[in-house]
Structure 1
Amino acid sequence: MTGTPDIPDYVADWFTARGWRLHDHQRALVRAFRERRSTLLIAPTGGGKTLAGLLPSLIDIHENGTGHLHTLYISPLKALTNDIARNLTAPIEGMGLNVRTESRTGDTPGAKRQRQRRTPPDILMTTPESLMLMLSYTDAPRIFGGLRAVVVDETHSFAATKRGDFTALALARLRQLAPDHVRFGLSATVANPNGLAEWLGSSGAPATVHIAEAAPRPQIEMLRTETPLPYGGFMARYAIPEIYEAVRAAGTSILFVNTRAQAELMLQWLWQANEDALPITVYHGSLDKEQRRKTEEMMASGKLRAVVATSALELGIDWGDVDLVVQVGAPKGVSRLLQRIGRANHRLDEPSRALLVPTNRFETLECLAAIEAIENGVLDGVQDWTATRDTVIQYIVNCACAAPVCPDALYAEVTSAAPYAEMPRAEFDALFRFAVDGGTVLGNYPRYRRLQMGTDGLYRLTHQRVARRHRQNIGTIVEASRLRVKKMFGPRGGRVLGEVEEYFAQGLTPGDTFLFAGEVLSFERVRDMTLEARAAKGGEPKVPAYVGGQMPLSTYLAERVRELFARPDAWAALPESVRDWLALQKQVSRLPDEDSMLIEHFGRGRLRYTVFYTFEGRKANQTLGMLITRRMERMGLKPVSFVISDYGLTVTNLSTVTDAHIDSLLAPDILGDELEEWIAESPMLKRAFRQVATVAGLTEQNYAGERKTMKQVTFSTDLIYDTLRRHEPDHVLLSVTRREAERELLDLKRLSRMLGRFHPNWRFVALRRASPLAIPMLMQVRAEQVRGSGIEALLAQSALQDEAERMMEDARAAAG
Structure 2
Amino acid sequence: MTDLPQPITDWFTSRGWAIHPHQQDMLDAAQSPSTLLIAPTGGGKTMAGFLPSLAELHTAPRDGLHTLYISPLKALAADIKRNLRTPVEEIGLDIRIEDRSGDTSYTQKRRQRAAPPHILLTTPESLALLLSYEDAPRIFAGLQRVIVDEIHALADSKRGVQLVLGLSRLQSLAPDLRRVGLSATVEDPKAIAAFLAHHPQPTKIINADPGPDPDITMLQTEEAPPWSGGGGRYAIPAVLEQVKQHNTTLIFHNTRAQAELFFHHLWLANEDKLPIGIHHGSLAREQRVKVEQAMVEGRLKAIVCTGSLDLGIDWGDVDLVIQIGAPKNVKRLVQRIGRANHRYNAPSKALLVPANRFEIVECKAALDAAKEHDLDGDPRGPGPRDVLCQHILACAAAGPFIAEELFNEVTTAGPYVNLSRADFDRCLDFCATGGYALRAYDRYQRIIERNGKWQLRDPRSALQIRMNIGTIIDTEMLKVRLKSRRGGAPLGEVEEGFAATLTQGDTFLIGGQIVRYEGLNEMTVEVTRRASDNPKIATFSGTKFATSTQLSQRILRIFQQNDWPDLPDHTSEWLKLQRKRSKLPEPGRLLIESFPQDDRHYTVIYGFAGRNAMQTLGLLLTQRMEQQGLEPLGFLSTDYATMIWSLQPVVNPASLFVLDNLREGLEDWLAGNAVMKRTFRASAIIAGLIDRMTRGQRKSGKQATFSSDILYDTLRKYDPDHLMLDITREEAMKGLIDFGRIEDMIARTHGAIDHLQLDRVTPLAAPLFLEMGRVPIKGAAEERLLVEEASALMAKAGLE
Partner residue in 2 for 1:695: 686
* Equivalence for 2:566: 573
> Do the aligned partners of residues 206 and 462 (structure 1) sit closer, same or farther apart at CA in structure 2, a change above 3 Å counting?
same
Q: Which amino acid aligns with 1:459?
A: W
Query: Amino acid of the residue matched to residue 61 of structure 1?
Result: L
- Deviation larger for 372-381 or 147-156: 372-381
The code of the aligned residue for 1:52 comes to A
Report the counterpart of residue 478 of structure 1 in structure 2.
Answer: 473
Aligned to 2:612: 619
Q: 1:144 to 1:312 in 2, by over 3 A?
A: same
Find out whether 1:387 has 2:375 as its counterpart: no
CA distance in 2, matches of 1:371, 1:20: 33
TM-superposition CA deviations, 1:290-345 (whole Å, max 9, x none): 11111111101111100011011010000101110000000111111011000001
1:377 aligned partner: 373
The farther-off stretch of 579-588 and 12-21 is: 12-21
Q: Deviations over 1:357-396 (max 9, x none)?
A: 0001111111101111122222112323332110000000
1:426 is aligned, of 413, 422, 425, to 422
CA distance in 1 between counterparts of 2:556 and 2:52 reads 47
For 1:790-801, list aligned pairs within 5 A: 800-801=786-787
SS at match of 1:753: helix
Q: Residues 472, 548 of structure 1: CA spacing in aligned structure 2 closer, same or farther, 3 A cutoff? A: farther
Alignment correspondent of 1:764: 755
2:185 to 185, 189, 201: 189
Shift of 1:94: 1.9
Aligned to 1:309: 305
CA–CA separation in structure 1 for the residues paired with 2:543 and 2:488: 20
What one-letter code is carried by the residue in structure 1 that aligns with 2:636? Answer: V
Q: Distance in 1 between matches of 2:305 and 2:488?
A: 26
Residue identity in the other structure for 2:101: T
* Partner residue in 2 for 1:495: none
Cross-structure match for 1:200: 196
Report the counterpart of residue 560 of structure 1 in structure 2: 554
Looking at structure 1, the residues matched to 234 and 774 of structure 2 have their Cα atoms a distance apart, in angstroms, of 24
SS of the counterpart of 1:40? strand
For residues 428 and 253 of structure 2, what CA distance do their matches in structure 1 show?
42
Q: Distance in 2 between matches of 1:653 and 1:502?
A: 30
Task: Give the match for residue 120 of structure 1.
Answer: 116
How far 1:508 sits from its partner (Å)? 13
Letter in structure 2 aligned against 1:726: K
Tell me, in whole angstroms, the C-alpha distance in 2 between the residues paired with 1:228 and 1:805: 14
Which amino acid counterpart does residue 742 of structure 1 have in structure 2? Answer: M
Matched, 1:107 2:103: yes
Overall identity of the aligned pairs, in %:
47
Aligned match of 1:464: 459
Distance in 2, matches of 1:101 and 1:471, equals 25
Partner residue, 1:16? 13
Name the structure 2 match of 1:163.
159
Per-residue deviation, residues 756-788 of structure 1 (Å, max 9, x unmatched): 221321111112221111012222214799xxx
Instruction: Report how far residue 204 of structure 1 moved.
Output: 5.1
Aligned pair partner of 2:338 in 342, 351, 367: 342
Structure 2 spans left out of the alignment, 5+ residues: 495-538, 777-782
Counterpart Cα distance in 2 of 1:377 and 1:510: 49
Q: Secondary structure at the match of 1:72?
A: strand
Paired with 2:332 and 2:456, the residues of 1 have a C-alpha distance of 43
Deviations along 1:251-301, one digit per CA (max 9) or x if unpaired, are 110000000011111111111111111110100001111111111111011
Pairing of 1:236-275 with structure 2 (within 5 A): 236-275=232-271
Tell me the number of residue pairs that the alignment of Structure 1 and Structure 2 aligns: 747
Task: Pick from 762, 765, 772 the counterpart of residue 774 of structure 1.
Answer: 765
Q: Is this contact kept in 1: 2:100–2:109, CA < 8 A?
A: yes
Deviations 1:120-168 (A, max 9, x none): 1000000000000000000000000100000000000121321111111
Q: Distance in 2 between matches of 1:59 and 1:128?
A: 26
Q: Per-residue CA shift, 1:404-426, capped at 9, x if unaligned? A: 01111111111111100101111
Residue type at the aligned position of 1:480: T
What is the 5 A alignment of 1:29-428? 29-33=26-30, 35-203=31-199, 205-428=201-424
Q: Does residue 443 of the first structure (1) align with residue 442 of the second (2)?
A: no
Check the 8 A contact 1:200/1:206 in 2, yes or no.
Answer: no
User: Counterpart amino acid of 1:36?
Assistant: S
Q: Secondary structure at the match of 2:617?
A: helix
- Deviating more after overlay: 740-749 vs 349-358: 740-749
Q: Which residue pairs with 1:675 in the alignment?
A: 666
- The question of 1:27 aligning with 2:24 is answered yes
For the 8 Å contact 2:258–2:542, the answer to whether it is kept is no
| d(CA) in 2 for partners of 1:151, 1:690 | 33
Task: Identify which range, 662-671 or 259-268, moves more after superposition.
Answer: 662-671
Matched to 2:21, the amino acid is: D
From the superposition, tell whether residues 192 and 258 of structure 1 become closer, same or farther in structure 2 (CA, over 3 Å): same
In the superposition, relative to structure 1, how do residues 617 and 546 fare at CA in structure 2: closer, same or farther (>3 Å)?
closer
- The answer on 1:585 being equivalent to 2:578 is yes
On the 8 A contact 1:218/1:351 being kept in 2, the answer is yes
Q: 1:185 and 1:306, CA in 2 relative to 1: closer, same or farther beyond 3 A?
A: same
1:109 shift after superposition: 1.0
Letter in 2 for 1:339: Q
For 1:346 and 1:373, the matched residues in 2 are separated by 22
Is the 8 Å Cα contact of residues 224 and 575 (structure 1) preserved in structure 2?
no
Pick closer, same or farther for the CA change 1:805–1:19 going to 2, 3 Å: farther
2:636 equivalent in structure 1? 643
2:796 paired with 1:805: no
Distance between the aligned counterparts of 2:756 and 2:21, measured in 1? 58
Q: Once structures 1 and 2 are overlaid, which stretch shifts more, 8-17 or 369-378?
A: 8-17
Measured at CA, do residues 505 and 676 of structure 1 come closer, stay the same or move farther in structure 2, by a change above 3 Å?
closer
Pair 1:361–1:546, CA change in 2 (3 A): closer
Q: Take 1:695 and 1:196, find their aligned partners in 2: how far apart are those partners?
A: 24
Q: Is the 8 A contact 1:480 1:710 kept in 2?
A: no
The CA distance in 2 between the partners of 1:763 and 1:143, in whole Å, is 64
Separation in 2, partners of 1:614, 1:813: 23
Taking a change above 3 Å as real, the CA distance of residues 124 and 636 of structure 1, as seen in their structure-2 partners, is: same
Amino acid aligned to 1:12: T
Which of 640, 644, 653 matches 2:646?
653
Counterpart amino acid of 2:310? Answer: E
- For 1:158 and 1:637, locate their aligned partners in 2 and report how far apart those are by CA, in whole Å: 46
1:14 positional shift: 1.6
> Equivalent residue of 1:812, what SS?
coil
Name 2:622's counterpart in structure 1: 629
Listed as ranges, the gaps of 5+ residues in structure 1 are: 482-500, 515-544, 786-796
Measure the CA separation in 1 of the matches of 2:29 and 2:384.
Answer: 32
* TM-superposed deviation, 1:557: 0.5
Rounded to whole Å, the distance in 2 between the matches of 1:50 and 1:634 is 59
Whichever residue aligns with residue 425 of structure 1, its letter is R
* Contact 2:601–2:649, Cα closer than 8 Å, also in 1: yes
CA deviations over 1:1-60 (Å, ceiling 9, x no partner): xxx742222222222222322111111111211x33410000111111111111111111
**Contact 1:688–1:740, Cα closer than 8 Å, also in 2:** yes
Q: Distance in 1 between matches of 2:117 and 2:265?
A: 46
Structure 1 residue 513: deviation in Å? 13
SS in 2 for 1:88: helix
**CA–CA distance in structure 2, aligned partners of residues 799 and 349 of structure 1:** 51
Separation (CA, whole Å) in 2 of partners of 1:513 and 1:615: 29
AA matched with 1:150: V
Deviation of residue 509 (structure 1)? 8.6
Taking structure 2 as the reference length, what is the TM-score of the superposition? 0.90
